[in-house]
Amino acid sequence: MYTIIVVDDERLTLDHLANYIEWEQMSCRVIATANNGRDALNKIESLQPDILLTDIKMPVMDGIELCKQVHARFPAIQIVFLSGYNEFEYACAALQHGACGYLLKPVDNEELAATMKMVHHRCEEQKNRLHSTVVTAGEYMRELLQIGGNLLSGLADEVTSIYNRYLHLPAENKTFYFVFISMDEYMLLAENPLAIDASPGDFSAAERLEFFVAGLPGCIPGVLTKLRDGQWIFVTQEANSTAFTHWRNQSEHAGRWISLFLTSSPQTLLSFTKKWPNMLKLRHYLVATRGTGLINDSWENVNVTWRKEPFPPTTRLIAAVQQNRRDQVEEWLHDFYDGGLPPGNVSQVFVETVSIFDSVFSAIGANNRHLQDMIEKDATFLGRLSLMESMQSMKTHMRQILNLMMDELQASPVDRHIEIVNEVCSIIRKNYGQVISVDELAELIFLSPNYLRTIFKDITGKTLLEYVTQIRMENACMMLRETNIRIQEIAKRVGFESPSYFGSAFFKRTGLTPNQYRTHAKKGSLP
C-alpha cells in the first residue's frame, strides 16, 4: 500500500477524496488530509507519505509553493495536482515544479486510476534507485571504516546524504546513532548447525540468526550494513538500549548470541570512524571476558583491565579430576576463566587451555585405553574450542570434557558395558554393508533396544547411527582410495541403497563428493 496525503481547501472535495474514493483498489491508503499548504507541509514532515495529492489554489500556502518545498526537501514524494481551472498555464506550472500528474476537478475515477497507475510506477522506480544508493552507501561505509574518515571526508558527506534521504531526514542533518551488531561465536555457530538444535537439513544457527538481524530495519527505522560475516553496522535516529533489547528478545537465541554496542549520543560519520577501532577492540575484549549476548551503550567508559594473577596450577586440576572432586574442578575453572583476560587476546587462553587439556589427559588416560580411544575419536573438542572467542564458552566446553573424564574414571575398567559396546562395535565393523537395525543388534546381545542405545552413547559419545555411518564412510574412503570400483557399487557395498543419499552423506562428512575425494586421493592431495 502506498500512502497518500490529500490537500484541498474545499471541505466537500476533501471529504470526497479522503473517504469516498476506493483507494485500496489502487493499492493506496490516505493517511492524512490538510486544507492548506502550510498544514500539509507539517504533516508531510512527520508522516513522509509516498504520494501528495494537492489542490493548486489554496490560502496561506498554495499548491505551487507547497510543490516547490516538497520537491526540494523530499524528492522521493510523487506529487499530483488538482485544479478546477482547465487552463494550460496551471498544468505547465505544476509540471515545471516537479509534479508527475495533473487532474481536473471534479475528479474522474477512470482518469484517477490511470494516473495512480503511472504514479505507482514512478514510486517503484524511486524506491529502486534509493535501494541502489543504499547498497552503494554500504560499500562506502566499509571503506570508511577500513581506511578512516579523515582521508575520505567527501565520501562521508555523500554517505550522510544518502542516509538522510533514506531515513527522511532534513538534508542539513549530519548526525546519527551508530550500533555495532555482532554475532558472537560466529565461526562456532557456522561450523556447528546443531548448536541451536537445528534439524538435519535445516539452516545453521548462524544462518538463522543472520535472517533475524536482517529484519531489524522492520522493527527500528534505520540502515543496516553488513561489514563481514557475523558483523553489521546499523545507522538510526532512534537508538536506545531498551528498544534494541525489545527487538533482540523476540528471538531466544539472539539474546544469547547477538551483542550490541551503541554510541551514547548522535554523531557525525567522521566522528564515528575515529571511534570505530576502539569500539571494535572493546567489543572483542568484553565478549571475551563477560561472555556472549551483551548490550552496551557506555563502552567508551570501560576500563580495560588485564589479568594480574597467574593461571592456577595444572597439578591442582589433575588431582581434582583423579579424585573425582567436581567442586574443586569447578573452583579451578572459575580461577582460570573468570580471572580476566591475559594481555593480548583470547587466543592465548585457547593455547593455555589446549596445553592444560593435554596434561590432564596424559595423566588421567595413561592407563585407560577406553578413555584414550574416546577422546582421540572426539576430535571435535579441540576443533570447537579453537573457534571460540569467549572465555565463558571455553569454560563450559572444558567443564564438559572434564566431566566426561570423571564419569569414565567412576566406571570399572572391566565394566560389562564396555564389553557389550566392544562386541556391538565388532558386529557393526563386520556387517557394515548390510542393513543394521538397533533391534537386531539388541537381540544378538540380549538387551532391550533402548538400553543398548543408552549405554552405547554413554561409552562412545556417539549414537549407534553415527557409529554405523562412521564405519561405512571409513570403508568407503578406503575403497575410493585403493580401488577403481564404481561409486554406485561402493555405495551399495557400504550399506546405502541410494547412491544419491550416499553422496550427500559422504559430502556432509568429508566436505568432498566421492568423485572429488577419489581425484584428490590419486593426486595425493587429500586435505
One pLDDT digit (tens) per residue for the chain, 527 residues: 788 999 998 888 898 888 888 888 888 899 999 999 999 999 888 788 889 998 888 888 888 888 888 887 787 888 998 877 665 566 666 666 667 878 888 888 888 888 888 888 888 877 777 677 777 788 888 888 887 656 677 888 888 888 887 887 887 889 999 999 999 999 888 875 544 444 545 567 888 899 999 999 888 889 999 998 999 999 998 878 888 999 998 888 898 999 999 998 999 999 999 899 999 999 999 999 999 999 998 888 888 888 888 899 988 888 788 667 899 999 999 999 998 888 767 888 988 998 898 888 876 665 466 666 666 655 577 788 888 999 999 999 899 889 888 887 776 544 556 767 888 898 999 998 888 888 888 777 656 788 788 888 888 888 998 999 999 999 999 999 999 899 999 999 999 888 888 999 899 888 889 999 998 888 887 76
Cell of 199: 534439524
Query: Helix, strand or coil for residue 215?
Result: coil
Cell of 95: 509540471
pLDDT at 151: 60
CB within 8 A of 425, min separation 6: which ones? 460, 467
Q: Where are the beta strands (DSSP E) in 159-301?
A: 177-183, 222-228, 231-236, 258-262, 295-296
Cell of 349: 587462553
Give pTM, 2 decimals. Answer: 0.60
Write the DSSP symbol of residue 324: T
**What is d(CA 220, CA 287) in angstroms, rounded to the nearest whole number?**
24
Write the DSSP symbol of residue 178: E
Phi–psi pair at 66, nearest 5 degrees: -60, -45
Residue 191 backbone class (left: φ over 0; alpha: ψ -120 to 50; beta: rest): alpha
CA distances (Å), 479 to each of 85, 283, 386, 482, 488, in order?
88, 49, 32, 5, 12
**What is d(CA 39, CA 205) in angstroms, rounded to the nearest whole number?**
50
pLDDT at 493: 92
Closest to 475 in 3D by CA, of 511, 514, 440: 514
Q: How many helices and strands, by DSSP H and E, does the chain display?
A: 24, 10
**What is d(CA 467, CA 445) in angstroms, rounded to the nearest whole number?**
17
pLDDT at 295: 92
pLDDT at 315: 81
pLDDT at 325: 81
Closest to 316 in 3D by CA, of 327, 308, 305, 307: 327
**What is d(CA 273, CA 260) in angstroms, rounded to the nearest whole number?**
17
- List the beta bridge partners of residue 223: 235
pLDDT at 293: 93
